[in-house]
A and B are shown apart, each in its own frame.
Chain A
Amino acid sequence: QMQLVQSGTEVKKPGASVKVSCKASGYTLTAYYLHWVRQAPGQGLEWMGWINPNAGGTNYAQKFEGRVTMTRDTSISTAYLELNGLTSDDSAVYFCARLATMGIQPKFDPWGQGTLVTVSS
């Protein structure tokens, strides 16, 4: 059974950085692109970017360029999201999601359980 398991809740101060992990099981991490999506409290889903776990290439949403880094460690089947220069606007639940390739166009399935990041002084 394909599964993505994320790291636990984080509380950070403004200006700090956060690194969230996403461990894949039930499939080979390097076989599918891995995306990150966030959701602020009471808000909708916001796509942040993807990493190709095989070659390490990335594509970030313009909004996060220069502040986000997506990496992976294939030896432990884990992908990472690092976000720098945190502000209160970055308080959100961060999800990883595997790119699903069945059908015509790319979609997300499955998703990790989410990691709550709270930015507060």
Chain B
Amino acid sequence: SYVLTQPPSVSVAPGKTARVTCGTDYFGSITVHWYQQRPGQAPVLLVYDDTDRASGISERFSGSNSGNTATLTISGVEAGDEADYYCQVWDASNDVYVFGPGTKVSV
């Protein structure tokens, strides 16, 4: 099964760009999804299939995947972006859903 790694925390100044990474040995044909979880709230889908923004999500959120590292980029960071961010993949061979450990973004 996939094991995903994320940095525990990322700190960024308002208006700057934050990058949150999600790594594994090799994603191959697997696509990565990203969720935002604000304190005390349920996760919200931000970006799916590496690069597609979910409905209603700001253009400031974007995603990429280089093969063994997926990246969520938050441009023009705002105070409201302070949250935990999780990556997630589907291990089709075992029909198991795997989350990364999460990254706390501090603004």
Closest CB in chain A relative to B105 CB, distance in Å? 15
> How far does the Cβ of B70 sit from chain A's closest Cβ, in whole Å?
13
Q: How far is the CA of A111 from the CA of B44 in the complex (A)?
A: 7
Report whether B52 and A103 are in contact in the complex, using a CB–CB cutoff of 8 Å. yes
B97 to chain A: which residues have CB within 8 Å? 35, 47, 106, 108
Tell yes or no: B3 within 8 A of A by CB. no
Which residue numbers of B lie inside 8 Å of A, CB to CB? 30-31, 33, 35, 37, 41-45, 48-49, 52, 54, 86, 88-90, 92, 95-102
CB <8 Å contact, A45 and B102 = yes
Nearest-Cβ distance from residue B72 to partner chain A, whole angstroms: 14
B95 partner residues in chain A, CB cutoff 8 A = 59
Taking residues whose C-beta sits less than 8 angstroms from the other chain, chain A's interface range is 20 to 34
Residues of A within 8 A of B30 (CB): 105
The one of B42, B48, B86, B89 in contact with A102, judged by C-beta atoms closer than 8 angstroms, is B48
With contacts A44-B86, A95-B42 taken as known, whether A103 is within 8 angstroms of B98 at the C-beta atoms is no
Q: Which residue of A lies closest to B86 (CB)?
A: A45
Residue of B nearest to A35 (CB): B97
Interchain CB contact under 8 A, B90 and A108 = no
| Pairwise interchain contact B44-A44, C-beta atoms closer than 8 A | no
